[in-house]
Amino acid sequence: MSWATFVSMRRAVARGETTCEAVTSSFLCAIERSRHLNAFTYVDAEGALAVARKQDQLFVAGTAPPLAGLVLAVKDVLCVKDWPVTCASRMLTGFRSLYDATTVSRLKAQGAIIIGRTNCDEFAMGSSNENSHYGPVLNPRNEAYAPGGSSGGSAAAVAAGLCHAALGTDTGGSIRQPAALCGVVGLKPTYGRVSRYGLVAFASSFDAVGTLTRSVEDAACILQVMAGADPRDATSAPVQVEPMETSAFSVSGLRVGVPAEFFGEGLDDGIRHAIDVILDQLRAAGVAIQCVSMPHTRYGVATYYILAAAEASSNLGRYDGLRYGYRPKKGPRESTGLKELYVRARSQGFGREVKRRIMLGTYVLSAGYHDAYYAKAQRVRSLIRKDFERAFAEVDVLITPAAPMPGLKLGSMVHDPLQMYLSDIYTVTASLAGVPGLVVPIGEHASGLPVGLQVLGRPFDEARLLRLGGFVMQCAGGQRLNGILPRRSETRSEQDSS
């Protein structure tokens, strides 16, 4: 649609070429036409239009806040007052939130128009968005493929032009991997940069709220508003939020590291070639490219899935059918004992992947296995964090692939969880270290699917990531690669002209 990015739409409204209400109506029509993608679990058309009309009045009065007119979707794990929040699970069917998540309240206060909730893997556990109680989401770039997960609904909604941007959450790559597979911009901030208050927890030491957008500028605008300390979240960092200025994408003198461990066996040749072309263009722009070593990367997937499952087992213990969540009806011949109620509630309320991770997490925390698995994984996590610290002593940022392959065919890995977990190989280490990550689209694979590049940075250095990401997208917009075609709709010139 016209004005597909918030920045371009904001300029158009200021010039009197459109209105917030008109743009919101266009998105609502697009959502209705694209219902088969299954990207949304809930849409609030009346509420969104009412907010849009209010923002139009503020534009006329000259008092429009910074995000006035931003049409935003929210992943179904973040609380929005009076809206359902189900985490795409039967366990929370019918539950409505009593309050707004901090991210939601901050964005609302600055003019964002919240249009609806996006589908996701159940309790954010998955890499393909096929683990949802509401069914899988289709990738709008090729509907035979999954959009990635767990924020697949958010990525698909942005890629299909159903909203300007969407909030997602990233625990082990759940923003970055679907951003790559859907050809959009995905930002995972530093752990603690954005409040987790109002986020239904999966793994509390990993979970990060971030964005999926069609441009780096939009990601910067949204992060600027939602970042910052929150007294309701003890893990939010009291770090000043610097201006996220992206208008000048100067990269001369930047030191970029390329970790050899991310470019080994298993990486698709087309993705490797696309990244090599970008690295050559960065060299030509005055960027110093050097190889770095991160030797503990090989242990990332195993370490992540031990620790994340352990935390999930603890966090999901509250859903027992008695105090919270789905409560099954008793059959005429079924026992009314407490243990039987727990078993039925959790067996019926949770899906297969969530139960798998709860059982795995309970096992690694159990007596006799805690030291062999959980404690050892915590020590390896420290080693992975030190790998990043050593690398960032030599370079300013790291460039890596975002996913080992250009796409996941629907149903191809549903019955092979190990292969699904391995698809997170390039994203989990940043989550283990708590560093920020940005994925930007750099072209199309020979298969026609998008290719994404991941940029990783020092803690709380999102501004540098965004500047580099913007420059990379400019490079990608003007090139034609052997077997890889650039996504023209993502070029800066087209964004401005729209």
pLDDT in tens, 56-71: 999 999 999 999 999 9
Indicate which residue of 34, 127, 128, 150 is catalytic.
Answer: 150
Rounded Cα gap, residues 57 and 194, in angstroms: 30
Model confidence at 101: pLDDT above 50: yes
Would the pLDDT of 231 be above 80?
yes
Over 80: is that where the pLDDT of 493 sits?
no
Q: Residue 248 pLDDT > 70, yes or no? A: no
- Check pLDDT > 90 for residue 438: yes
- Beta strand 255-259 with 288-292 is parallel
- Judged against a pLDDT cut of 90, whether residue 338 lies above it is answered with no
Q: What is the mean pLDDT of the chain?
A: 92
pLDDT (tens digit per residue) in 372-388: 999 999 999 999 999 99
> What type of residue is 163?
C
CB 29 within 8 A of CB 49: no
Q: pLDDT band at 86, cuts 50/70/90?
A: very high
pLDDT band of 489, cuts 50, 70, 90: very low
The angle that helices 102-109 and 216-226 make with each other, rounded to 10 degrees, is: 110
Which pLDDT belongs to residue 334?
64
Here the tokens at position 219 are 């990601």
- The pLDDT-based confidence of 490 (bands split at 50, 70, 90) is very low
The active-site residue, picked from 127, 151, 154, 174, is 174
| Selected catalytic residue, list 34, 75, 128, 236 | 75
| pLDDT tier at 169, thresholds 50, 70, 90 | very high
Residue 479, pLDDT > 60, answer no
Is-catalytic flag, 150?
yes
Query: What is the CB neighbour count within 10 angstroms for residue 496?
Result: 11
Q: Let me know if 127 is a catalytic residue.
A: no
What is the share, in percent, of the chain residues with pLDDT greater than 70? Answer: 93
Which residues, 6+ apart, have CB-to-CB distance to 419 below 8 Å? 413
The answer to whether residue 2 is catalytic is no
Predicted TM-score of the model (pTM): 0.93
What mean pLDDT is predicted for residues 352-368? 96
